[in-house]
Structure 1
Amino acid sequence: MIDAVAAAAERSGFATLWIGEHVVMVDEPSSTYPYDADGRMAVPADADWLDPLIALSFAAAATNRIGLATGVLLLPEHNPVITAKRAASLDCLSGGRRFSLGIGVGWSREEFDALGVPFARRARRTEEYVAAMRTLWRDDVSTFTGEFVSFDRVRVNPKPVRRWIPVICGGNSDDALRRVAEWGDGWYGFNLADEEEVAERVSVLRRMCREVGRDFGDLRVSVSLKESSPANLVKLDDIGVDELVLVAGPPYDPIAAELWVDQLARQYAGGCR
Structure 2
Amino acid sequence: MVYRGILDDHRIVAIKRSKKVDERQKDEFINEIIVLSQINHRHIVRLLGCCLELDVPMLVYEYISNGSLFDVLHPEHHASPLPLQARLTIAEQAAEALAYLHSATNRSIIHGDVKPHNILLDNDLSAKVSDFGTSQLVPMDEDDFMMFVQGTFGVVLLELITGKKAIYADDAWEKRSLTTSFLVMMKEQRLRDILDDRMVGEGGEQLLGEVAVIAKECLSVKGEERPSMKEVAERLHSLRRFRRQPREEYDLGEIELVKAEDTRRCTETDTSGYHILDSSTLLNNVDAGR
TM-score, normalising length: structure 1: 0.25
Using CA pairs below 8 Å that are at least 6 residues apart, which structure has the higher relative contact order? 2
* Structure whose alpha-carbon radius of gyration is higher: 2
- Structure 2 length normalisation: TM-score? 0.24
